[in-house]
Amino acid sequence: MKKLIYPIALILTAFLILYSCSPEEETQAPTSTVQSTTPEPEPQAPSQYNLTVTAGEGGAVSTEGGTYDEGTEVTIIATPNEGYIFIGWDGLDNEESELTINLNSNQSLVASFEKLNYTIQEYQFLLNTEISEGSYIENIARMFSFNAIASTFTYEFNGKHYLLIAGDVCGAGECQDAETAFENVPPMSSILFGYEPSTGWKFIKHFPEAKTWNIRNLDKKGNFIVMGDGNEIGPHPDNWYGNAFIGEIVDDDILWSKINNDGTMSYQHDISIGDVDGDNDLDVIVAPLNGVFVNNSGSFSLEDKLNYFDAEGLDIGIDYGVDLNEEELLSSLGLSVQIDDLDNDGVNEIIFSEFYTYVFKKINSKYEVFWKGDSKLLYPEWEVSNLGVPIPIASTMIEIDDFNNDGIKDMIISREYVPQETFADNSDDWHSFDVWIGNGDSTFNPQSVTKLSFDIIVREFRLMDVNNDGYKDVILKSNFGYFTYDRETTDSGYNFDIFNENPKGIILNELVYINQGNGNFIQYDEKKLYIDGIKPYKIIPYMRNDKLHFIGFSYDKIPTGYNSSVELIDGKVPIFFYDIEMDL
């Protein structure tokens, strides 16, 4: 085909050259031929060219153009209307809104604008340094930076929106040489913001009674919220320990109490709350499973897991050629846990997930394996070890919800860093989430896998119907991995410098996955979710007024990283954040 097109293009070009000359050129041409023999050429009348400038939808231009002498410099300014952004000039490789051109030919320029699908509110808070009492001032700033995305939760109470940020540490470099969290690393208070319809977000209070190192997960049932400390401070996983907290939400307050004691601290990758022993008081389980925190009228005691769980049917050890005893089997169930009444019979089931997902059902007096989900059904290319068995992979979160609106509970599991060789079509690490459709009897069928771009760093997600079609969608909580406007990412090689290079903005499409009505999810692509001119380091989704919002913490005004110094204003820590309302 190319061979045919080329001669046609030549003929067309010749035709255009012959017939497109302006009247001025036609009259000048013979003159210059005659002049070739005269000794003193008369000065030529300058050639003139037409410039046409128009504005596409959504903006205006400073001039419509006109007829100018050759070489005239013309400056044109494109100005977007409110709610639009200038994106470039059609026919020119130039994205500057102010353009100076040197006219050497007829030119036609069209300024292109794009509709912005958001509105934004910007806030500044001056936080009292006493919030960090016992810890370091730098950790106040750190809690708003790229760290600890999982530590940030939004919830509603009595129709009002709240943002809880659990205490996070290491901002003063205090973790770098620590062997464990509780050695020279004081925990940090958690803080709470609330949204008032008339005035917007405001700081409410800090909780010195709920000091944490790094919360990895939370669960909320009714007015109770639990959070588990999954800090990984120190080089040895055996030395990772933290506390679990339960809070009762009461208006603008949360009444916190510690679930464990100093002797029952553990690494809490996940945590869930629900009645396990049948007395209607909410008990707590953390993953990896260390027992059951049984609620005795508001105080908790850690009870032996063997009293509550039966390991019969767990074949974890068999896969690896390792003979595990009952206690070891129950400790190897995985890094995520969820308590939920899957079959609505009034008795909670308990779900654990790693490579395999186990549903435990209360049969007689103990929780027994009732159903096992094999991830190989959804990830057939999953890497296997030299023993020929699947390599286990961290599941970071289990949520129970109805994804196909048939009234039966389904299950969604997020996975962190699926191993490199797992997906044949890509050599990079991926995150993913997979959906299992419930049968109503606490068993499930595999439905879908959604692989995320490796540029996205995500630990947890939220389930919200962001396009108001009645089906729950998946919105990722992400930090420093979402794309900047020019599609440079901060994730590859942890290139934080990109945020110092003044990116134009961010594109959030990769955080939004729309439910197709059956538990299959497709990245939102109806509009470009472009946010102009900001570069937040952490993005937290929530729904308000049936619209998807993101809370974003600004980077350029907040120091981040280790040993970062905090520049105080009036002796207080300045915090900036955005509330972005998306128009999907």
Q: Could you give the strand order of the β-sheet that contains 356-363, starting from the edge strand earlier in sequence?
A: 336-340, 349-353, 356-363, 366-374
Q: Which stretch binds Ca ion (CB under 5 A): 130-138, 211-219, 272-280, 453-461?
A: 272-280
Pattern 456-485, Ca ion, x by CB under 5 A: ---------x-x-x-x-x------------
Is residue 441 a contact residue for Ca ion (CB under 5 A)?
no
Nearer to Ca ion, 447 or 560 (CB): 447
Query: Judged by CB under 5 A, which of 114, 138, 219, 275 binds Ca ion?
Result: 275
Structure tokens, 119: 């509105």
CA atoms within 13 A on the CB side of 360: 25
Nearest distance from residue 116's CB to Ca ion, in Å? 22
- By CB under 5 A, the residues from 387 to 416 that bind Ca ion are 402, 404, 406, 408, 410
Residue-wise DSSP of 143-173: TTSSS-GGGEEEEEETTEEEEEE-----TTS
- By CB under 5 A, the residues from 39 to 58 that bind Ca ion are none
Which of 303, 293, 297, 306 lies closest to 279, judged by CA? 297
Nearest distance from residue 327's CB to Ca ion, in Å? 23
8 Å CB contact between 212 and 250: no
Nearest distance from residue 373's CB to Ca ion, in Å? 15
Work out the number of other CB atoms within 10 angstroms of the CB of residue 494.
11
Nearest distance from residue 246's CB to Ca ion, in Å? 12
Nearest distance from residue 375's CB to Ca ion, in Å? 20
- By CB under 5 A, the residues from 189 to 248 that bind Ca ion are none
Nearer to Ca ion, 283 or 510 (CB): 283
Nearest distance from residue 407's CB to Ca ion, in Å? 7
Which of 160, 148, 119 lies closest to 212, judged by CA? 148
Nearest distance from residue 507's CB to Ca ion, in Å? 20
Write 195-201 long-range contacts (CB < 8 A, 24+). 195/160, 195/161, 195/162, 195/163, 195/544, 195/579, 196/160, 200/121, 200/123, 200/579, 201/121, 201/123, 201/163, 201/551, 201/577, 201/579
Nearer to Ca ion, 80 or 438 (CB): 438
Nearer to Ca ion, 107 or 264 (CB): 264
Nearer to Ca ion, 188 or 412 (CB): 412
8 Å CB contact between 136 and 80: no
Nearest distance from residue 496's CB to Ca ion, in Å? 34
Work out the number of other CB atoms within 10 angstroms of the CB of residue 584.
16
Write 247-252 long-range contacts (CB < 8 A, 24+). 247/210, 248/223, 248/224, 249/155, 249/157, 249/162, 249/223, 249/224, 249/225, 250/223, 251/157, 251/158, 252/192, 252/194, 252/204, 252/205
Nearer to Ca ion, 347 or 394 (CB): 347
Nearer to Ca ion, 253 or 465 (CB): 465
Residue-wise DSSP of 95-151: --SEEEEE-SS-EEEEEEEEE--EEEEEEEEEEEGGGGTTS-THHHHHTTSSS-GGG
Nearest distance from residue 225's CB to Ca ion, in Å? 17
CA atoms within 13 A on the CB side of 62: 10
Nearest distance from residue 279's CB to Ca ion, in Å? 5
Nearer to Ca ion, 396 or 404 (CB): 404
Nearer to Ca ion, 145 or 290 (CB): 290
Is residue 383 a contact residue for Ca ion (CB under 5 A)?
no
Three-class SS state of 339: strand
Nearer to Ca ion, 185 or 337 (CB): 337
Which letter, b or e, does each residue of 558-570 get, where b requires 16 or more Cβ atoms within 10 Å of its Cβ?
bbbeeebebeeee
Three-class SS state of 511: helix
Residue-wise DSSP of 376-409: GGT-TT--B-TTSSBPP--EEEEEEE-SSSSSS-
Pattern 335-374, Ca ion, x by CB under 5 A: ------x-x-x-x---------------------------
Nearest distance from residue 206's CB to Ca ion, in Å? 30
8 Å CB contact between 542 and 551: yes
Nearest distance from residue 199's CB to Ca ion, in Å? 30
Nearest distance from residue 440's CB to Ca ion, in Å? 8
Q: Which stretch binds Ca ion (CB under 5 A): 61-69, 280-288, 371-379, 491-499?
A: 280-288
Nearer to Ca ion, 468 or 500 (CB): 468
Nearest distance from residue 303's CB to Ca ion, in Å? 11
Query: Judged by CB under 5 A, which of 168, 174, 219, 283 binds Ca ion?
Result: 283
Pattern 284-323, Ca ion, x by CB under 5 A: -----------x----------------------------
Asked if the bond preceding 46 is cis, omega within 30° of 0, the reply is no
Is residue 281 a contact residue for Ca ion (CB under 5 A)?
yes
Q: Which stretch binds Ca ion (CB under 5 A): 50-58, 269-277, 332-340, 411-419?
A: 269-277
Number of residues that bind Ca ion (CB under 5 A): 20
Nearer to Ca ion, 130 or 345 (CB): 345
Nearer to Ca ion, 449 or 474 (CB): 474
Type of residue found at 320:
Y
Rounded to 5°, the CA angle 255-258-264 comes to: 170
Nearer to Ca ion, 137 or 412 (CB): 412
| Residues engaged in binding Ca ion (CB under 5 A) | 275, 277, 279, 281, 283, 295, 341, 343, 345, 347, 402, 404, 406, 408, 410, 465, 467, 469, 471, 473
